[in-house]
Amino acid sequence: MSERSAVFAELRALMAPYAAKLDVKRDDETELYVDTRHVQKNGKALFFGAVQVRAGYVAYHLMPVYSDPALLASASPALRARMHGKSCFRFKAVEPALFEELSALTEAAFASYRAQGMV
Measured between alpha carbons, how far is 30 from 41 in angstroms, rounded to an integer? Answer: 30
What's the whole-number average pLDDT of the chain?
Answer: 96
Cβ 112 vs Cβ 65: under 8 Å: no
Say whether pLDDT at 1 is over 70.
Answer: no
User: Is the CB of residue 58 less than 8 Å from the CB of residue 52?
Assistant: yes
Three-point CA angle 49, 101, 57, nearest 5°:
55
What's the rounded mean pLDDT across residues 38-65?
96
Q: Taking 90 as the threshold, does the pLDDT of residue 85 lie above it?
A: yes
In the chain, % of residues over pLDDT 70: 99
Mean pLDDT of 62-71: 95
